[in-house]
């Protein structure tokens, strides 16, 4: 168990068996694996010298566990670890290898404490109405599938559907609502698209751009500094510009902002 992690989290850690078979094989890299699992698995594979397969979970009791099977270490991590940088992953690797120092444990404890808000309880899970992806002009599941394959090479584990209609009010100025054409929810990995976009006025390219933007929130870690979260990092902005038709999509949004927020 991590040193000073609050007891109410009921964390459990299982160490790797002593007779783990050492292997230099590459960890599984199925195209259906989330990008974060592949990134973490690749890092730990190089560091630990074993093939490592990572699965991110929403387990509220056991945040980290590992078992050996057929020469591969199967590591299960709470999804908060998708935010882990290389420094934290190195600390995690040392822990899994059974050579964690008090300083290493303190580093992991601090990371968990900073992200404990992502450990959901039954009381905090919101009941949401079922999402509908099929619209009159766009099938969002189809858009999600095409964008995921084109830009990420795999079907990402993300849900998508039409959200509630967003209109400008006295408390929602046009500049803000123009950026709320879609949202990404980190808790349930869900994209909700403003139904005003289900219109023949909206080019397919623009819809793909909007979905692509939200998918970047799914695949890129949030940077946290001095208690603040930064979502649109330089890496995020660079990947935005990698979208084919980026300038065209931006120009369309600017030209149609009055219609979008009417």
Rounded to whole angstroms, what are the CA distances from 33 to 30, 89, 192?
A: 5, 19, 22
Is-contact 58 115, C-beta < 8 A?
no
Using one digit for the tens of pLDDT, what is the confidence trace for 86-119? Answer: 999 999 998 888 887 888 888 888 888 888 877 7
Instruction: Report residue 136 CA to chain centroid gap.
Output: 29
Point out the domain boundary residue: 88, 118, 148: 118
In a domain, 129, yes or no: no
Q: For residue 106, what pLDDT is reported?
A: 84
Q: For residue 179, what pLDDT is reported?
A: 52
Q: For residue 14, what pLDDT is reported?
A: 38
pTM exceeding 0.75:
no
Rounded distance between C-alpha atoms, residue 244 and residue 206, angstroms:
11
For 108, residues 6+ apart whose C-beta sits below 8 A from its C-beta are 2, 88, 91, 92, 95, 100
Q: Are residues 150 and 93 in the same domain?
A: no
- Please give the share of the chain, as a percent, with pLDDT higher than 90: 25
Q: For residue 230, what pLDDT is reported?
A: 76
Backbone angles phi, psi at 36, to 5 degrees: -65, -40
Q: Are residues 191 and 227 in the same domain?
A: yes
Rounded distance between C-alpha atoms, residue 54 and residue 92, angstroms:
12
Domain extent for 87: 7-118
Q: Give mean pLDDT, residues 165-180.
A: 50
Is-contact 85 114, C-beta < 8 A?
no
Which tokens in the block code for residue 9? 């989290």
Residue 8 has pLDDT above 70, yes or no: no
Q: Are residues 160 and 104 in the same domain?
A: no
For 203, residues 6+ apart whose C-beta sits below 8 A from its C-beta are 252
Using one digit for the tens of pLDDT, what is the confidence trace for 23-56? Answer: 323 333 344 347 888 899 999 999 988 899 888 8
């Amino acid at each position: 168990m991590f040193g000073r992690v609050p007891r109410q989290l009921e964390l459990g850690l299982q160490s790797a068996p002593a007779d783990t078979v050492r292997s230099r094989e590459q960890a599984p890299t199925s195209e259906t694996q989330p990008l974060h699992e592949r990134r973490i698995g690749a890092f730990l594979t190089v560091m630990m010298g074993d093939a490592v397969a990572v699965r991110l979970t929403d387990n509220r009791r056991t945040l980290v566990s590992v078992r050996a099977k057929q020469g591969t270490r199967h590591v299960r991590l709470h999804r908060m670890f998708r935010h882990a940088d290389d420094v934290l992953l190195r600390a995690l690797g040392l822990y899994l290898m059974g050579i964690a120092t008090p300083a290493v444990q303190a580093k992991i404890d601090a990371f968990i404490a900073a992200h404990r808000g992502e450990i959901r309880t039954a009381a905090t899970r919101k009941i949401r109405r079922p999402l509908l992806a099929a619209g009159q002009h766009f099938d969002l599941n189809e858009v999600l599938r095409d964008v995921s394959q084109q830009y990420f090479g795999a079907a990402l584990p993300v849900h998508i559907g039409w959200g509630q209609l967003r209109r400008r009010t006295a408390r929602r100025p046009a500049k803000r609502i123009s950026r709320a054409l879609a949202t990404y929810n980190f808790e349930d990995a869900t994209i909700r698209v403003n139904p005003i976009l289900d219109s023949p006025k909206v080019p397919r390219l623009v819809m793909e751009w909007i979905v692509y933007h939200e998918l970047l929130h799914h695949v890129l870690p949030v940077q946290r500094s001095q208690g603040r979260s930064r979502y649109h990092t330089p890496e995020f902005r660079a990947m935005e510009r990698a979208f084919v038709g980026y300038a065209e999509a931006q120009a369309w949004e600017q030209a149609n902002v009055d219609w979008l927020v009417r």
